[in-house]
Amino acid sequence: MARIAFLLFIPLLVLFARENPFIPTTDTNVSITSNIVQPLAPLSSHKVSFPSTARTLEQIVVYFKNLDGSVEQRVVPIQKSIDWHKPLVITQQQLSSPITSKIRKKSTKRSHYKRQLLAKLSFIRFYVHATTLRIYTQDKLLRDFMLVKPNRIVCDFKRNVSFAKIVKKGSTKSIFTQVVFGKHKGYYRAVIYLDGYYRYKLTHRKEYYEIKVY
C-alpha cells in the first residue's frame, strides 16, 4: 500500500518542480543582481535640449553612483534665464595642473612625462603624475592595503632603519597629499594620504612600483 502511495506522489513532484532548483524562490519580477562592475566610457560632454516654452532654468538634479554602488542625488539651484535655442551642455572640466607632459629628444626613443616629486628619503622616492604615483626604491614591498577615514594607502618595505616619524607634504593640487613614514622591526611603513575616496591598483616594474587610483 505504501509503495502505491509513493508512486502516486511522483507526478505531483514533477508538477511542482522548478527548472533550476538552485535559484531561490522569489518574485519573478525581482532581477538577479551581480557584483561585476561594468566599465563605462568617461564623460566628455552631453547636450540637453529645451522646448520652445522654456525660459528659466530653476535647478539641476544630478544622480551619481558611489564606489559602494549606492546612488545619491545632488540638487543644484540655478534660477537663471535661458535661451531655449541653445542646448545645455554637461561636461566635466579638466582642472589645470602644474604637471605637464613632455617628450624628450628623439634619440632616447622613449616618451616621458614630467613628474612632480612628492616625497623622498635616501632610499626611496615618490613621484606623482595626475592619478599615478611611482615609487622608486630597491627595497622589497612586503604588503600593501588601503585604510579609510581618511583614505590612505599603506605600503610596507623591507629594510632595517632607524628614524623618527617623518611627514612629507605634497602639492595641494595633487590627489596624493602627503606621505608619512614610520619604522618597525625589520621594515618601514609609508602611508600615502589621498584627497578623497578611491580604489587603487599597484604593479611592480623593473625600476619602480606604480600605484594608479581611480
| pLDDT tens per residue across span 136-181 | 999 999 999 999 999 999 999 999 999 989 999 987 678 999 999 9
* Global confidence as pTM: 0.61
- Report which of residues 87 and 31 the model is more confident about: 87
Contacts 24+ apart (CB under 8 A), 84-87: 84/50, 84/51, 84/52, 84/53, 84/54, 84/55, 87/47, 87/48, 87/49, 87/50
pLDDT tens-digit map of 28-72: 333 333 344 566 788 888 889 988 788 898 998 989 888 888 999
CA distance 200 to 177: 15
Structural domains in the chain, sorted by start: 43-96 (no CATH), 111-213 (2.60.40.3500)
